[in-house]
Every structure is written in structure tokens, then in C-alpha cells.
Amino acid sequence: MKETKLSHKFDYYVLLFFSIAHLGWLWEVLLYLFTEHALINRGVYRGPYLPIYGVGGLLLCLFFKSMTKKPVRVFLFSMAICSILEYLTSFFLERRFGIKWWDYSSHFLNVNGRICLLGAVVFGLGGAALVCLYLPFFERLYNKIPVKWRIVISLLALAAFAVDGTYCAMKPNAGEGISYR
């Protein structure tokens, strides 16, 4: 089957989004497992993904793909972009649902408890690792998957995400260890 430019872009970005969103979910689950000694499904959605990581990661990959040999620059830009995204997402979620999914009020150099210096540094490191290390790995793996399978996996992931998003728009994932009231 001949691959069109449109199908390449569609499945490439969908799979990249979900792989990053899943890695973000793993990061959060492991972070809470080690710090709180509890297995907690973090985030608004029920599935094993955090859309904020997927969106942020896609933005970083789109903006900085040409900077894979400039990790310091990617680190600094990632700090800024991810902090802005995190602040705006926190603001939106709190306004929409009246719930906080994270609170950095006790952290050094926080802004309204929505972002903090430590979080910005971690996102900067993660962004540099994503663009400079993970993206080349993802592209090699992506190219090994047959086009038909990439499309099928993309469509199934999007369908599950749409169902999860619809449910969570009415009843978001919240509660002890997940959100703050």
C-alpha cells in the first residue's frame, strides 16, 4: 500500500502523542509510587495516559525537532513552554471542574501553586530527553511498523480516548491522591 503524506502525518502524530502521554502517565504513577507509596492513576482521564504530557511533548517535538544536537537550548525552551502549558491547564481544569489536580503551593518559587521552579526544571530535562533521545528512537520504531497497523492502532487509540474523554468530561478522575479540594 502506497503511503500518502496525509496518512503519514496523521498516524505519526497520533502515535507520538499517545506514546508521550503514556510515558507521562508512567512518570506520574512511578513518582507517586515512590514518594507516597501508593499506586495512583493520576490525571483527569481514566486511561493510562496524561494528555497534558502528550500535548506538551508534541509541541516540543514540532518546535525543536531541528535542535536535537542542542540539548541546552531545548532544555531552556522546554522549561518555558511546559510551564506555560501547565499553568494554563491548571487554570482551565480548576475553572471547569472546581478541582485542582496538582498544587505546588509548598514548593520554592511557585506561581499560585500551579507551577514551580522544580517542576520547570524537571520538564526542561524531560523535554531535552524527549527531543534529543526519545524522538530519534520513536522514529526508528515507527518506521518498523507497517502502515496498516499504524493506522489501526491510531484509530483504536483515538476511539478509546474519545470515549474516555466523554466520560471524564462528566465525571473526571478525582479523589484522594489524584486531586486536591
In the predicted model, is pLDDT for residue 1 greater than 80?
Answer: no
* Host H or E run for residue 111: strand 110-111
Rounded to an integer, the average pLDDT of 141-153 is 96
The number of C-alpha atoms within 13 Å of 59 and in the hemisphere containing its C-beta is 18
In this prediction, residue 180 carries a pLDDT of: 86
In the predicted model, is pLDDT for residue 92 greater than 70?
Answer: yes
* Residue 67 DSSP class: G
How big is the chain, counted in residues?
Answer: 181
